[in-house]
Amino acid sequence: MEKWFSVLILLCVALSIAQPLRMVTDKDYPPFIYIDESGSLVGASVEIWKLWSERTGIPVELIPLEWEEAIESVKRGDADAIDLIFFTPERESFFDFSFPIYEVTSSIYYRNYLPDIDVPEDLTPYIVGIKAGDALYTILSERNPDIQFRFYRSYSKIIEAFKNQEIEVFAMDDPPAQYYLVKHDLIYDVDRSKPFTRNQLHWAVKNGNTEILSLLNDGLSKISDSEIKDIIQSVLPSKPVISPDMRRILFFVSLGVLITFVALFAVNLYLRSIVKKTTKELREKNEELTLVNEELESQMQEARAINEELEAAYNELEQTSRQFRETLRLVSESFNLDKDEENFLKEAFDLIFDMFPQASQGYVSMSGQKWKILSSKGFDKSMLNRMNLESSEVPIPDKAVLVENIRLLDRERMSSRAFKAFEEYVPESKYAMIVPIKTGKESIGEIVLELTKEGQSFSSNDLKALESIADIISSFYILRRYSEMDRKFRKQAALILVKAMEYHDNYTRGHSQRVAEISAFLAESLGFDKEKIYWAALLHDIGKIGIPQHILNKEGPLDEEEFELIKQHPIKGYELIKDTEGFEDIAKIVLHHHERWDGNGYPAGLKGEEIPLESRIIFLADSFDAMTSVRSYRKTPLSTSEALEEIKRCSGTQFDPEVVKAFLSLEVASL
């Protein structure tokens, strides 16, 4: 543009020599003509004049002035013509106008917060900014004479006043208005009425200057409408896409984003520093904790080891305690004379394997008439027992021994038959303990415990422990021996007593023994213990020792007093026996052996099942033997069948019917 301006100046200089056309123009009518920021005259009009000058070959001098002054300049004849002017009747009085160049609309512009202004009639309440000398003043005044105007020298002054809130409304041609509103960023603060006028822009000369007017029109005719339109369109401003509000919003949003970003960045930096610091602290803490942890771990391990030791000790104690209890129980069982031998040995054997869990096999054998294994583990004892070995074939060592290779010892001590059986049926072992079971000096059996794994062995303490168990087993057998001896002794003593009593009573010799045998036989057939009833029956008449012999052996019937004395013998027998330890029950059986089922017996007159069963059995056996024997009061005894008939007859009165029934079912011949 600057370049063109320079060319124009040069052209003007050239034409000053050749009389250039002097055109005055509004210096502030953008975008048609105005002075830009660098001081150059620019705009569509400059371009049109350049074209005009090219087409006519006549130089043109454009002289920018305030509008009013430009008008006055032409009126005075200081310039040849005026650029871009509307036709008005008033102006026709002093101007002649060229052909129209371009149509321009004009509108009323007002603050967008004011009520709508559509037509000049709406302008009454306002002060309307307008350019001095502008044709719009004439047009608006004609439409509404009440409008109050405020005049400004140029359009830019009007815009400045509007911007400074000096005025709220102004009237202006639309192209320059658009140009300034966009330039000053006011386009979205303003509302616009519909155009209130349309006017053609012309050039104009002073009245009568037809020569210049012809020259102007001639040049204008050489420029097409489209060329003019293109030039003007190229300089018209376009409305910004984004409104100021939107821009403000965008600005604040952007600012917000920026502040947020900066804040985030700052926070990030701050957090980083905190994280760094914290990480360092954590690392230090971690190292400390690692040390503490290691220490704790080692303490834990120590505690765990102590705990394991304690647990092991507790388990050992628990095991020892349990074994101790089991041993005590076994000791207690050894005193129980009712305990079965096989069960006792099995329990003893279980205890042994509990005490020596490492032992994988072993046995307890007894050497009676035949050698016999009573309990075994690790092999089948029945195979060896079937050999029916003599006790002499498996000699028992005198004392407990630890043996490294028991089979070598077995070969030495056993018969070849016994050794072969052991070799065949007992698995090989590596280490063994042999402990004899003794009653005094006599060895009655042995306990053998064997280890089958290489490297295992028993200690001397193990041997002592096993000897203790062997002692308990010995006690079991010793006690039974004494018990048997005691039983035999008592029986012998009782028999001596019975014999003494039978010498006292001539007619009862052998009677007690027979009654004892019949009673035991009957008790057995009824399915209960015969031992007690045997003793009771053997001693049932022992009280007769206290009855005078002459009464017992009296020929003929007894008088009442004598019979009363005889009836005392169950009580006397009871009193003789009752204080003997273990004979308390037997004493009671003896006491009631003359009670009758119907209650007519003596000494207590008990009835039915009030009478001890043993007493009822003995009463029947006693009666049967008496019936079939010679007595002082009956020289000829009854035959067996007569006696059985008599018993049958007395069933339910004298005798218990059930006992009678059992008795009658027995083989009488076997009695």
Beta bridge partners of 447: 364, 435
For Fe ion, the closer of residues 134 and 622 by Cβ is 622
For Fe ion, the closer of residues 446 and 595 by Cβ is 595
Provide the minimum distance between the beta carbon of 568 and Fe ion in the complex, in angstroms, as a whole number: 11
Q: How far is CA 383 from the centre of its chain?
A: 58
Provide the minimum distance between the beta carbon of 593 and Fe ion in the complex, in angstroms, as a whole number: 6
- Residue closest to 443 by CA, chosen among 470, 479, 405, 413: 470
Provide the minimum distance between the beta carbon of 552 and Fe ion in the complex, in angstroms, as a whole number: 11
For Fe ion, the closer of residues 182 and 604 by Cβ is 604
Binding mask 621-650 for Fe ion (x = CB under 5 A): ------------------------------
Binding mask 316-355 for Fe ion (x = CB under 5 A): ----------------------------------------
For Fe ion, the closer of residues 444 and 536 by Cβ is 536
Q: One-letter amino acid identity for 429?
A: S
Q: What are phi and psi of 541, to 5 degrees?
A: -105, 15
Provide the minimum distance between the beta carbon of 618 and Fe ion in the complex, in angstroms, as a whole number: 9
Binding mask 286-315 for Fe ion (x = CB under 5 A): ------------------------------
Provide the minimum distance between the beta carbon of 328 and Fe ion in the complex, in angstroms, as a whole number: 47
For Fe ion, the closer of residues 189 and 625 by Cβ is 625
Q: Which of residues 438-467 bind Fe ion (CB under 5 A)?
A: none
For Fe ion, the closer of residues 173 and 541 by Cβ is 541
Sign of CA dihedral 45, 51, 56, 60: positive
For Fe ion, the closer of residues 204 and 626 by Cβ is 626
Q: Which of residues 359-418 bind Fe ion (CB under 5 A)?
A: none
**Tokens in use for 58?**
């006549």
Provide the minimum distance between the beta carbon of 498 and Fe ion in the complex, in angstroms, as a whole number: 12
Residue with tokens 């096993």: 466
Is 375 within 8 Å of 343 (Cβ atoms)?
no
Residue with tokens 């102007």: 216
- The Cα 418–Cα 384 span in angstroms is 8
Region of 60 on the Ramachandran plot (φ > 0 left; ψ -120 to 50 alpha; else beta): beta
Around 542, how many Cα atoms within 13 Å sit in the side-chain half-sphere? 25
Provide the minimum distance between the beta carbon of 540 and Fe ion in the complex, in angstroms, as a whole number: 6
Provide the minimum distance between the beta carbon of 645 and Fe ion in the complex, in angstroms, as a whole number: 22
For Fe ion, the closer of residues 379 and 602 by Cβ is 602
DSSP string, 643-667: HHHHHHHTBTTTB-HHHHHHHHHS-
Residue 483: in which H helix or E strand, if any?
A: helix 460-504
Residue 438: in which H helix or E strand, if any?
A: strand 431-439
Please, what is the end-to-end C-alpha distance for the chain in angstroms?
Answer: 166
For Fe ion, the closer of residues 134 and 541 by Cβ is 541
Binding mask 213-242 for Fe ion (x = CB under 5 A): ------------------------------
For Fe ion, the closer of residues 502 and 541 by Cβ is 541
Residue with tokens 């040849």: 80
- The Cα 295–Cα 356 span in angstroms is 41
Q: One-letter amino acid identity for 212?
A: I
Is 334 within 8 Å of 476 (Cβ atoms)?
yes
Mapped onto helix, strand or coil, the DSSP state of residue 479 is helix
Provide the minimum distance between the beta carbon of 569 and Fe ion in the complex, in angstroms, as a whole number: 6
- The Cα 528–Cα 614 span in angstroms is 10
For residue 634, the 8-state DSSP code is B
Provide the minimum distance between the beta carbon of 604 and Fe ion in the complex, in angstroms, as a whole number: 14
Cα–Cα distances in Å, from 202 out to 205, 213, 220?
A: 10, 11, 10
> What number of chain residues touch Fe ion (CB under 5 A)?
1
Q: Which of residues 522-561 bind Fe ion (CB under 5 A)?
A: 541
For Fe ion, the closer of residues 135 and 566 by Cβ is 566
Is 374 within 8 Å of 342 (Cβ atoms)?
yes
Provide the minimum distance between the beta carbon of 395 and Fe ion in the complex, in angstroms, as a whole number: 54
For Fe ion, the closer of residues 414 and 611 by Cβ is 611
For Fe ion, the closer of residues 541 and 614 by Cβ is 541
Longest C-alpha distance within the chain, in Å?
A: 212
Residue 393 neighbours by CB distance under 10 Å: 19
Provide the minimum distance between the beta carbon of 550 and Fe ion in the complex, in angstroms, as a whole number: 18
Cα–Cα distances in Å, from 48 out to 35, 92, 101, 103, 403?
A: 16, 24, 10, 15, 141
Provide the minimum distance between the beta carbon of 556 and Fe ion in the complex, in angstroms, as a whole number: 19
For Fe ion, the closer of residues 149 and 619 by Cβ is 619
Beta bridge partners of 35: 41
Kindly state whether residue 83 participates in binding Fe ion, applying the rule CB under 5 A.
no
For Fe ion, the closer of residues 383 and 604 by Cβ is 604
Is 130 within 8 Å of 158 (Cβ atoms)?
yes
Q: How are beta strands 431-439 and 401-403 bridged, if at all?
A: antiparallel
Provide the minimum distance between the beta carbon of 595 and Fe ion in the complex, in angstroms, as a whole number: 11
Beta bridge partners of 173: 106
For Fe ion, the closer of residues 410 and 541 by Cβ is 541
Q: What are phi and psi of 32, to 5 degrees?
A: -75, -45
Provide the minimum distance between the beta carbon of 541 and Fe ion in the complex, in angstroms, as a whole number: 4
Region of 556 on the Ramachandran plot (φ > 0 left; ψ -120 to 50 alpha; else beta): left
Q: Which of residues 4-23 bind Fe ion (CB under 5 A)?
A: none
Provide the minimum distance between the beta carbon of 354 and Fe ion in the complex, in angstroms, as a whole number: 55
Task: Output the residue with the shortest Cβ distance to Fe ion.
Answer: 541
- For the chain, helix (H) and strand (E) counts, in that order, are 24, 18
Please give the residue ranges that form the binding site for Fe ion (CB under 5 A). Answer: 541
